[in-house]
Amino acid sequence: MSGAEMIKDGKAIIGIEFGSTRIKAVLIDDSHTPLATGVHDWQNELLDGVWTYSLDNVKRGLQDCFADLMRNVEEKYGVKLESAAGMGISAMMHGYLAFDENDEQLVPFRTWRNTMTEEAADRLTDAFDFNIPQRWSVAHLYQAILNKEPHIGRLAFMTTLAGYVHYLLTGEKVIGAGDASGIFPIDPKTCDYDSSMMSRFGTLTAGTELRLSLSELLPKIVQAGECAGRLTDEGAKLLDPTGTFRAGVPFCPPEGDAQTGMAATNSITPKTGNVSAGTSIFSMIVLEDKLSAVHREIDIVTTPCGAPVAMVHCNSCTSDLDAWFGMLGGFLKEAGVDIPKGKLYDMLYGLAAEGKPDCDGVISYNYYAGEPVTGVKDGKPLLFRSPASDFNIRNLARSLVYSCVASLKAGMDILTEQEHVKLERIYAHGGFFKTPVPSQNFLAAALGADVTLMQTAGEGGAWGIALLAAYMANKRSGESLEAYLGGRVFADMKGSTVSPKQEDIDGLNVYMKKYISGLAAVRASANER
């Protein structure tokens, strides 16, 4: 069946992901090949000290992205996109979306980027003997309770961004297991919220203004491969105000961007993992065994099927790199040399590859936001160098690229050196790898492992959630997600693999020693008011 026939007959699959800077939709066929895409660019805003996105922008962005997909389908295939065999919604994990019993938003959306819940995260970690990072939804909830915020007495429902958009489209207050694992700890035996920890949370919050239990507040977990609702008439009208796209499409459980990255790279079995790098950077390593200790630098989340995953999540990745490259491009433009952005990035990445392996003491800290992994509370990008450093464009560019993976390396070293977690296969995806050299090479050096970029790496999480929707729509009886991805999606998939070079490993280790030693100064500077 041709692409046009699949679209016309409503047999294609749609995935939509809300990333930090772009909302993207991907339409795939029965061989999981992208047929068309739609995009909408957006940005978070700092409102009264809180990183947020307005829910009006969420709805407008959804509509604009879907309209772009529909336009592209009609232009490319000459048919209208009217239905689909399945859909899925993915978005940035964590954060706090709180609503009253009338579905009215109680406080602005508090995204993963906020580092305002230190007290709550510390208390919950102690109470649960389980690391609760500041980004997690339960940390935001408990901090609001500790702060005695007036909305707590009216709180009737809380969810993630993916869960919220899914609710708008289907009317179902549900969530996938992976996205749920960034709300509250999951019991891998039941693939549900950990009941003993929920009981402890109830004890902690007894006597507060919180009226409902967590089991009443949180979205219900739906397992991967199950139908999590269908597009309602109201949802169809929101998605496509023209009325062309019809209601009734089945939806897979909404998932987090970490889980769609795992699906998009086929890294959901033990000793496999992936790194997603864009505005933020995080690694997801599927575990064979429970870690021996609680590490505040490492989150324990899950695959879409509920298997435990060690996650090192760093709030800052490419923002400072983009700012520096933009400034350098602006300087060249002032000098009469206007270089297109893609060519400028290729040139500067090429220069970074030629820099000294240790950057000759030029050390960059890319902290646009606070970074719990390295104990930095507030964002403040900084550049350090010795008077004896050879401060040239090659060493500067290399240092800026190193800074994108430095915090991740600090967390990953705990996994590999202290917990002796073995890495067999690491896949990478995200905007950081649009120019693979040297970003892919430097990540391999940071992890001490081979790193593969799949040919689908550019499609990202929107393709990943489309795969999860395809699994729901097409799975055979008893077919696991691992079997579906391995046998029906990635069996013949090609990728580009690089191995770490010893000179890059040695140079980055020297760089990291100076990077770690300079963190005290970064913390002092970042905490200035």
Q: Give residue-wise pLDDT tens across range 468-496.
A: 999 999 999 999 999 999 999 998 888 89
| Torsion angle (degrees, nearest 10) of CA 384, 510, 276, 374 | -60
Two tokens at 211? 């009226």
Query: What is the pLDDT at residue 495?
Result: 84
Which residues make beta-bridge pairs with 492? none
Query: What is the pLDDT at residue 197?
Result: 98
CB–CB of 286/307 below 8 Å?
Answer: yes
Which segments of 385-494 are extended strands (E)?
425-429, 451-454
What's the average model confidence in pLDDT over 464-470? 97
For residue 397, name the pLDDT band (cuts at 50, 70, 90).
Answer: very high
* HSE-CB for 237 with a 13 A CA cutoff: 3
Judged by average pLDDT, the poorest of 90-99, 251-260, 305-314, 448-457 is 448-457
Query: What is the pLDDT at residue 299?
Result: 92
Judged by average pLDDT, the poorest of 268-282, 300-314, 352-366 is 268-282
Query: What is the pLDDT at residue 514?
Result: 97
Name the helix (H) or strand (E) containing 526.
Answer: helix 519-526
CB atoms within 10 A of CB 264: 32
Backbone angles phi, psi at 50, to 5 degrees: -115, 125
Residue with tokens 């007959």: 9
* HSE-CB for 444 with a 13 A CA cutoff: 21
Which residues make beta-bridge pairs with 495? 454
Query: What is the pLDDT at residue 457?
Result: 55
What's the average model confidence in pLDDT over 351-358? 98
What is the set of domains in the chain, with CATH numbers?
A: 257-316+411-498 (3.30.420.40)
Q: Give residue-wise pLDDT tens across range 46-86.
A: 999 999 999 999 999 999 999 999 999 999 999 999 999 99
| pLDDT of 529 above 60 | no
Query: What is the pLDDT at residue 528?
Result: 59
Nearest CA to 26 out of 37, 39, 12, 18 is that of 37
Query: What is the pLDDT at residue 314?
Result: 93
What's the average model confidence in pLDDT over 249-262? 95
Full-model pTM:
0.85
Judged by average pLDDT, the poorest of 199-208, 290-299, 480-489, 490-499 is 490-499
Query: What is the pLDDT at residue 128?
Result: 97
Instruction: Express the helix, strand and coil content of the chain in percent, nearest 5 each.
Output: 45, 20, 40
Query: What is the pLDDT at residue 526?
Result: 80
Mean pLDDT of the chain: 95
